[in-house]
Amino acid sequence: GPPLAQVKLEILREFRRIFIDENTYEMEPSAMLPYEVLKNSGHIDKFCDVILTDGSVIVRADHYIEDAIGDTFLLPTNLGTSYAAVVEKVLAIKKEIIIEKNARLLRLKNAEAASRTAARVPVSADHSTGTLTREEVGRILAHFECETKHLADLSKDEIDFVVILYNLHSPEQRPFNPSRDFNLIFKLNDRQFLRPEIAQSQFTNFRKVLELNNEKLPFSTLAIGRSYRNEISARGGMLRTKEFEQAETEYFSEGGRREGFVAVRESRVRVLPR
């Protein structure tokens, strides 16, 4: 609304004050980029989030796993070299745990105090689709030499292993297919895309700006505008949205000279008062 629109204008005004000097060229590039630009920048192949799907429901893997069980895990150290063997052993141990849980539930239901216990601690009649507890996972991992890994550092194989290890299922309680990459670029057609960030056009226009600057370095370019990302689970606030404003400047120099960067590297912009 109007209040935040005014805040944005103030931020951009301060951004220009800090970064624009006599060697800065501001541009307004197109929001559309051709395939070749994004292919060469690596966005076509690597600008991805990892997703999980049961064939119907699609979720972003890191968000779903973090919400379900956290962001730090113990994983077998030989997972990368013996993935199939490790998974086979985990599935066998997990099956035993699930059988034990269901047998324990059956005994509770047959006991006279089962109704009172169930009222205090609700349990499922079938644990085959229930997430394993940390204690149960610990019983499985006790059979392996393990190392600690953060969710952000997991490969797709390791994400699949976490799903198997913790017995994670989709929100519809269906098993997940193997994880896969999902490209975040909005595709208009086979050759054109909405820009995922605003930097590319500053590089593709380098030759034109160099000519404007009499074929001399250093100089900088600045661009402000909307960028677009096909977020799987777009979240509120300033980050991870499908459409957002970006302001970016690029410095071009030769011989490793960084005077322009040194002049602004300590700059801070106060967005809101304390």
> So where are the chain's domains?
2-47+186-255, 49-115+128-181
Distance of CA 242 to the CA centre of its chain: 13
User: Quick one: average pLDDT of 143-161?
Assistant: 95
The domain made up of 2-47+186-255 is a member of CATH 3.30.930.10: yes
Beta bridge partners of 72: 150
- Beta bridge partners, 246, equal 225
The predicted pLDDT at position 32 comes to 95
Considering only CA atoms, which of 88, 84, 130 is closest in space to residue 105?
130
Q: Give pLDDT, residue 231.
A: 82
Average pLDDT over residues 153-161: 95
Mean pLDDT of the chain: 86
Residue pair 145/78 in contact by the 8 Å Cβ criterion: yes
Q: What is the DSSP string of 96-111?
A: HHHHHHHHHHHHHHHS
Average pLDDT value for residue range 64-81: 93
Q: Are 7 and 1 in contact (CB under 8 A)?
A: no
pLDDT tens per residue, range 77-134: 999 899 999 999 999 999 998 888 888 777 777 775 545 544 444 434 344 557 888 8
